[in-house]
Amino acid sequence: MCLAIPGRITGISGDDPIMRVGKVDFGGIVKEINLAYVPEARVGDYVLAHVGFALTVIDEAEAERVFGHLEEIAEIEAAEAGQ
CA–CA separation, 78 and 57 (whole Å): 31
Going by C-alpha positions, the residue among 63, 23, 55 that lies closest to residue 36 is: 55
Nearest Cα neighbor of 6 from 29, 39, 74, 77 is 29
Is 19 a residue whose pLDDT tops 90? Answer: yes
Average pLDDT, the chain: 92
Residue 11 pLDDT: 98
Rg of the chain taking only CA atoms, in angstroms: 14
Please say whether the structural domain 5-81 has been given the CATH code 2.40.50.140. no
Q: What is the β-pairing status of strands 5-13 and 46-50?
A: antiparallel
Q: Distance between terminal CA atoms of the chain?
A: 26
